């Protein structure tokens, strides 16, 4: 569950950022937007809601075009609920332009697994929504990340190469590699050896950032992390 501000027309901010379980956040937001704002979330041309594996510059330009168009209704806010597991730098810069200068009555909710995906410039423009719990939601990688740290370098490479192959074959979504990196980072952080793990944290952050590129080498990025854990 997330801690949302009291959403009312007169108090609605122009842009919010929500990090956590994407499906849960989208579901909660739809309910709140319908109940608190009186905005229909079905069959409403002034309610934009899409979830992207990776939000690209083409996606962002389409959102820009919708934002620049005239809304169908003048007595209800127009809502953009944009959820993504990854986002390119170009897309972020495109969204930044409309978030910095939004059309009257247009409001944005950006939903993502982690704020680490965002450039500082975009994140600074968002009103951050926090989770009620400081703990991460359950993940298939909760136990795997602990086992991974204990593996030999050879076995780590075998593991990440298999994960990269699954992404390439389409049997695993790319965002699951980001979930794995997030859990690995959390597991390392829980070990409290922060000084000894500085290089590892840096490698994870860098790999996670490049995962947002249009066509990242998932295999190379995961192997880079494996060699630094």
* Structural domain count of the chain: 2
DSSP codes joined into one string, 78-109? EEEEEEES-B-HHHHHHHHHHHHSPPTTEEEE
Instruction: Say yes or no to pLDDT of 219 above 60.
Output: yes
pTM strictly above 0.95: no
* 34 and 106 fall within a common domain: yes
Query: Does residue 23 belong to any structural domain of this protein?
Result: yes
Q: What is the pLDDT of residue 135?
A: 43
Domain, as residue range, for 207:
142-226
Q: Which of 119, 53, 106, 42 is nearest to 83 (CA)?
A: 53
* 58 and 152 fall within a common domain: no
DSSP codes joined into one string, 206-217? HHHHHTTSSS--
Pairing between β-strand 106-112 and β-strand 78-84 as defined by DSSP bridges: parallel
Per-residue pLDDT reduced to its tens digit, 2-45: 555 555 555 778 899 998 888 888 998 999 888 888 889 999 99
Query: Does residue 107 belong to any structural domain of this protein?
Result: yes
User: Residue written as tokens 């739809």?
Assistant: 30
Distance (Å, whole) CA 93 – CA 228: 31
């Amino acid at each position: 569950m997330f801690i949302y501000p009291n959403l009312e027309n007169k108090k609605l901010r122009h842009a919010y950022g929500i990090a956590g379980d994407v499906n849960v956040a989208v579901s909660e937001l739809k309910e709140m937007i319908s109940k608190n704002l009186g905005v229909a979330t079905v069959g409403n041309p002034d309610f934009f809601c899409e979830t992207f594996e990776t939000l690209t510059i083409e996606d962002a330009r389409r959102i820009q075009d919708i934002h620049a168009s005239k809304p169908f209704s003048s007595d209800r806010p127009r809502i953009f609920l944009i959820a993504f597991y990854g986002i390119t730098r170009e897309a972020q810069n495109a969204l930044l332009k409309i978030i910095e200068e939004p059309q009257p009555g247009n409001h944005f909710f950006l939903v993502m697994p982690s704020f680490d995906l965002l450039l500082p410039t975009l994140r600074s423009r968002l009103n951050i929504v926090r989770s009620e719990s400081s703990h991460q939601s359950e993940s298939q990688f909760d136990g795997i990340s602990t086992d991974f740290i204990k593996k030999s370098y050879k076995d780590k490479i075998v593991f990440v190469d298999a994960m990269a192959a699954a992404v390439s074959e389409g049997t695993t979504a790319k965002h699951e590699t980001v979930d794995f990196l997030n859990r690995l980072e959390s597991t390392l952080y829980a070990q409290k050896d922060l000084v000894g793990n500085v290089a590892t944290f840096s490698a994870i952050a860098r790999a996670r950032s490049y995962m947002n590129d249009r066509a990242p080498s998932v295999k190379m990025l995961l192997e880079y992390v494996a060699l630094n854990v």
